[in-house]
Amino acid sequence: MESYYIVNDPNDPLAARATEIRKQDYLFWKEVKPDLEDDFDISCHTLATRTGLSERRTRDITMALYRLAELPLTRALQETYYFLDFSRLITIDAVLSKLGDVPTETLERIDQELASYLTPTSPRQVLPSNTNLRRKLNGLIAVETPTPEEEKEATPQKDPYFTYSSFGGKAGLAVEFDEATLIAIDEHVSQAAEKHNLTKADALAKLILGDIEQRVKVVLHMYRAYDQKAAPGFIQGFGWVSPETADGIRPTQKRDMDLARELESESYVTPPLIGAFVEGRDGVCRWPGCHRPAESCQKDHRIDHAKGGKTAGSNLASLCQHHHNIKTDGGAFYIMDPHTGDIVWLFDDGHWEYDEPQGPLAPKNKNWALTVGQAIAARRAAAKERNDS
Ligand SMILES: [Zn+2]
């Protein structure tokens, strides 16, 4: 069967109309976008007043189109299917902007991965949500961080700690750390917030001012291939990190996910090892398009435990409370490929949707991490050879 996104279903008149609107919108802006050499601000202003959009939106759309021009494979997909609306195109530009000026081969690498992520591989797939697209892109750029030597040259000696006044008697604080430090701080703050029922901002203030104490041990869950020299890591609650950051996090306990994948348990409650596999495979709630992280989802027995359904990766899927309720109420049910974790959702009205797992253990992401790890190891070896000679 042909692979396609539901937004491009040729037999669905509603989807076809929406695609036509996206296409016209895209072609319109492609035609009228200002040249970057023109007086850019005035051009955006004029376009904004003539289209009724804000200047900010006009600028974002323009920059998104220039960004897409740097990503020929992704652009070719868009100009075949017209499946990406401007929200998603702007997300692509916004995330890639964090990279600053990068060599062409970096953009080529990202373009290749992005195009492969956006290419449907099954019929009736649900288009990745804006949030999941942003997470994917953040993962792609996380492993493109500069090597330590380049970083040293680029880092100014300024203290990256800023305070600023905001609106209505509020003031803000912005600080920058290396990734590993930030992950540890964030985990401490999150735990304190949960324990004392505070917002994370309040928890941070109270921790620093000594109003509350936090002496618990922070537990980080990282997925990483240990049989590889330079594998990126995936930290639960944070996302993909570079091999350098992953190296900086020393595990106190290692668990084998290949083993966990095959495990079965008699108990109804999911044992931690099987749970870690399911969360690592799913990444997010398996309701198509939902982006609730798997670690805050429930583990649904596809076939009820009472009816002989196993407590094992092949019979468990992450569903957030809301979508678990919908499934329990009988409005929809699913079947799952036990090897890939792919899910087909079947709805009461007879239509069906295809959902692929998004976590670091999902087949596609495992392959990506493997390729990235090999590329980074090769780059390091080449740099070492240059230094040695
Ligand atoms: Zn959900």
What does the pLDDT look like over 163-212, one tens digit per residue? 988 888 889 999 988 887 888 888 889 888 988 999 999 999 999 998 98
Residue 152 has pLDDT above 70, yes or no: no
Alpha carbon 38 to chain centroid distance?
35
Write out the two tokens for 7: 């937004």
Angle, vertex CA 62, rays to CA 59 and CA 67, nearest 5: 120
pLDDT attached to residue 267: 92
Q: Give, to the nearest 10 degrees, the angle between helix 72-81 and helix 104-118.
A: 30
Choose between 16 and 154: higher pLDDT: 16
Distance 74 CA to ligand 1 centre (A): 28
- Cα–Cα distance for residue pair 215/65, rounded to 1 Å: 49
- Cα–Cα distance for residue pair 385/302, rounded to 1 Å: 52
pLDDT range class, residue 383, cuts 50, 70, 90: confident
Distance 298 CA to ligand 1 centre (A): 10
Distance 204 CA to ligand 1 centre (A): 29
Write out the two tokens for 56: 């900010």
Distance 294 CA to ligand 1 centre (A): 9
Region 267-274: what's the mean pLDDT? 93
Query: Which residues, including other chains, have CB under 8 Å from residue 242's CB and lie 6 or more apart?
Result: 142, 143, 144, 145, 179, 232
Residue 1 has pLDDT above 70, yes or no: yes
Asked if 364 contacts 380 with a C-beta cutoff of 8 angstroms, the reply is: no
pLDDT attached to residue 145: 63
Distance 128 CA to ligand 1 centre (A): 14
pLDDT attached to residue 330: 85
Residue 214 has pLDDT above 80, yes or no: no
Strand extents, DSSP E, 285-347: 298-301, 311-312, 316-319, 332-336, 343-347
Residue 157 has pLDDT above 70, yes or no: no
Residue 223 has pLDDT above 80, yes or no: yes
**Helix residue ranges per DSSP H, 98-196:** 104-118, 130-142, 148-154, 179-196
Distance 156 CA to ligand 1 centre (A): 43
pLDDT attached to residue 156: 58
Distance 231 CA to ligand 1 centre (A): 30
pLDDT attached to residue 91: 97
Alpha carbon 294 to chain centroid distance?
12
Distance 283 CA to ligand 1 centre (A): 11
Tokens 């740097």 sit on residue? 70
pLDDT attached to residue 360: 94
Asked if 19 contacts 95 with a C-beta cutoff of 8 angstroms, the reply is: no
pLDDT attached to residue 155: 54
pLDDT attached to residue 249: 82
**Helix residue ranges per DSSP H, 242-333:** 243-248, 257-262, 272-282, 321-328
Asked if 283 contacts 355 with a C-beta cutoff of 8 angstroms, the reply is: no
Distance 248 CA to ligand 1 centre (A): 33
Distance 357 CA to ligand 1 centre (A): 13
Distance 313 CA to ligand 1 centre (A): 18
Distance 44 CA to ligand 1 centre (A): 39
Residue 347's DSSP bridge partners are: 332
Distance 290 CA to ligand 1 centre (A): 5
Choose between 74 and 368: higher pLDDT: 74
Query: Which residues, including other chains, have CB under 8 Å from residue 357's CB and lie 6 or more apart?
Result: 281, 282, 283, 286, 340, 341, 342, 343, 363
Distance 295 CA to ligand 1 centre (A): 12
Distance 299 CA to ligand 1 centre (A): 12
Give the burial string for 347-370 (b: 16+ CB within 10 Å, else e): eeeeeebbbbbbbbbbeebbebbe
Asked if 293 contacts 284 with a C-beta cutoff of 8 angstroms, the reply is: yes
Distance 203 CA to ligand 1 centre (A): 27
Burial class of 318 by CB neighbour count within 10 A (0 to 12, 13 to 18, 19+): buried
Region 14-34: what's the mean pLDDT? 96
Distance 201 CA to ligand 1 centre (A): 26
pLDDT range class, residue 154, cuts 50, 70, 90: low
DSSP state of 8: G
Distance 342 CA to ligand 1 centre (A): 16
Residue 215 has pLDDT above 80, yes or no: no
- Cα–Cα distance for residue pair 378/376, rounded to 1 Å: 5
| Amino acid at position 106, single letter | T
Residue 67's DSSP bridge partners are: none
Distance 256 CA to ligand 1 centre (A): 27
Distance 96 CA to ligand 1 centre (A): 27
Distance 367 CA to ligand 1 centre (A): 26
Distance 318 CA to ligand 1 centre (A): 8
Region 284-309: what's the mean pLDDT? 93
pLDDT range class, residue 153, cuts 50, 70, 90: low
Residue ranges with CB less than 5 Å from ion ligand 1: 285, 287, 290, 292, 320, 323
Region 54-62: what's the mean pLDDT? 95
Q: What is the mean pLDDT of the chain?
A: 90
Angle, vertex CA 246, rays to CA 194 and CA 274, nearest 5: 60
Residue 147 has pLDDT above 70, yes or no: no
Write out the two tokens for 85: 């609306």
Distance 1 CA to ligand 1 centre (A): 27
Distance 188 CA to ligand 1 centre (A): 26
